[in-house]
Structure 1
């Protein structure tokens, strides 16, 4: 048992050897017995801290009571008919389908499509040459 490890055990687990890890308890007690002068002061400080921590009263957590109080304050949902939710979903679906077909009707005729295509891709090869350089 090193001095550093002993003081770490003392710091983490307190001065009561019953709280120390089982696998290190015997070595820590042997270290404390062989180094009484240095250990006595640190042990007394840890005993004071242990005593203060033992005096603390654990808070009472009343989660079920708090949960009931919060749930009691929530508004109660009204009884909606069972057909309303599926109807709302169906209506949204129909609106989406009709909007999709309507947007297809606004695209233009075949002649307009050819003109749009020609405007979009005129000089297409030249764009690649500009981008890649003259060697392409």
Structure 2
């Protein structure tokens, strides 16, 4: 227990060491007993604040406020009944169909043009760019 930590405990928990966190209570009491004059000013200020807080009336919420707070709390959800399907937004199926249409369009437009060219170097270049490596070189390395 350091002196700074004891001062923090006094400021946060008040002048009574019995109100300090249990893990630090014994060490705080020992340091207070060893150096009572060193912490006298902090203890006096904490006692004055404790006394002022004790003089305040106890404030209880009204029944109407309590009922309003309880009514505004989130309600628990009921158990699911029957088969529950996920909710789809209207554009989700449309985006799938759009991707399918784009793929079919690319297949129809690009495949005949690629098969019509007899230049295999051009096809190999396209494959190399599309796949990130040269398939012909790869198959030569495998010995095929």
TM-score by length of 2: 0.44
Higher helix share: 1
